Structure 1
Amino acid sequence: MSKRTLILEDGMIFEGEAFGSSEVTMGEVVFQTGMTGYQEMLSDPSYCDQMIVLTNPLIGNYGMNRDDYETTQPLAKALIVREVCQTPSNFRSQTSLAEALLEFNIPGLTGIDTRQLTRHLRSKGVMRGLLVDGEYELAEQLERIQQMKLTTDQVKRASTERAYIIPGAGPRIVLVDFGAKLGIIRELVRRGCEVVVVPHDVTSKEVLRYVPDGVMLSNGPGNPKDVPTAIPLIQELTGQVVIFGICLGHQLIALAHGADTFKLPFGHRGANHPVEDLRTGQVSITSQNHGYAVDAQSLSGLELQWTHRAINDGTVEGIRHTIHPVFSVQYHPEASPGPMDANDLFDQFLTEITNQQEVSHA
């Protein structure tokens, strides 16, 4: 392996070894605390333009397989680990992590102290970083980082370009793809739903043309305020159909009904985040991946009820419209990876659809 260095925008450097692609890359450096699931993390569209630091020290030991991807083309900028396994062993393994990174043209960095890096990001906040191979001039590379342009088109790049249908005998669900994980589609299909996946900039008229039984707003990357087309979509669909939002979809529901969002210092990225249901007191361990959150104070006076709270930092993890069948959560009920504590939210979504159909037919 050749020398590869991570340079952060505040001047801190981490020298290690290169694996995967030799592509020179820059992005936002974030950390993920999950102990397993590196394939799902790498391929989660919500990591678009981000350099993922995995806090678990040994990565790649069970290889990669065709079934656990969350998208067909990962959009992460880099993968940073303490130690990468070059000889994976698992009956499902079809290729190594290093080989997969080469295939997707994603660079990897190994042999650094990821604990130190994580503690630095936790205290200073996520920041931009650059991977450079071989020798370098620090001042020159820091200038490159400062000139790095922050893009706002992550959702456009992560979304499908055209609508497609996955047949099913059950309720018809229109899934608005802001960068949807395949795990969401798997959960709907597993319950017999017909799933119509539509682009992020779909209009309410186009959605209603499919005569959906329910609408799901998916997860996705970036700042929710960079997706202005979603606001009128949600406003116009509210009251006409049951709506369930996940992660970015949750934030967009909040914005559409007058609430505000803000950027977290280092985000929630892991498979061990406790969340309390404020209505029942029940605590679930959840899988999360987001850098923005709904402002709790902005919910005051709106037709939105705060339903779920993050135990670690008290931020908003779920809301519900007080009049119409619209609800959302900040975490991932489909997990992939992570615990399945919240998986029954998909069942609740379908139950709400059934209840609305009974009301309309009464």
Structure 2
Amino acid sequence: MEITSLFKKEIVSNGGKLMAKQRRFAYTSLTPILLYMGLFTLFPIVWAVVMSFFSYTPIREGSGFLGLGGANPFIGIDNYIELFTGTSKPAEVFRLAVKNTFLFTALVLPLNLIVTLPLAVILESIGERFKTLFRAIYFLPTISSSVALVIIWSYMYAPGWGMLSLMFKAVGLVPPKSWLQDPNTVYFGIPLAMLCVVVAHVWQDFGYNLVIFVAALQSIPKTLREAARVDGANTWQEFWLVVVPLLSRTVLLTSVLTVISSLQVFVIFQLLTRGGPKNQTQTMLLSIYENAFKFANNLGLSAAMSMILFIIILILTVTQFRILRTEWEY
């Protein structure tokens, strides 16, 4: 009995030492990550929220914490009121940028899904020998440098001698005078420059959703599709009545990711159009950048713009989850 009791105590003691080692390992591993997240993620978010309530610019020396107060006074929600109702040029341009950003997102989302879902089905139907090759080809633009891709598209859209202009001339059509800087060319109420940026962005971005859809298609049990064929379903009926409903959760994921990324596109607008012509491609992120660093150095107003963008993303994400969510699994 004494030996058994000593053995139990030894087990409890070793177990306690093991738990202590595991806790120390967890603390040691998580502390650097938490410090990094707090310094480079949480603090900038909190700082942006606080700064949006101040008339803050780094060229003025404030009297309070991190330059807040004094020459950078607290103004409450005046920045937000200015953005929604003000008559200053930054406020008017920002309201136009909100409309342009929504238009861009509304064009990118359906076009991306229309391209990626059928293409994923096609890729899954080809032989195993070429499947990996085509996946790599279609995913290559996604992992390539955005600046390099913009340079390629700038040559594509070059007026007169660009590839698109030459293709138009080859089939007897008259190309636009300028693909990216003609403010008067509008199709169905959408400026030509905006359409050009949409095409370039979808070409760069669709590979990401394509990989997600391919993975989702592989997870669908083959027995379900075989049962549909036994019941007499043709290829279209199998796709529309079996595959698409089973991909509803994947469609939700890709829709949310596409909307979030579309609302935050910056590089392609900055390098292709710089918001032109006549602010037809001005976006919210461009307005935030220009007011913060390029023109006015008004970081307080830019912080308010950032908070509005954050709220828009949050509302759209929650709305998508509520509309597209499903209550079943397979």
Q: Could you say which structure has the higher helix fraction?
A: 2
TM over 0.5: no
Which has the greater radius of gyration?
2
TM range, smaller chain:
under 0.3
Q: Could you say which structure has the higher strand fraction?
A: 1
- TM-score normalized with structure 2 length: 0.23
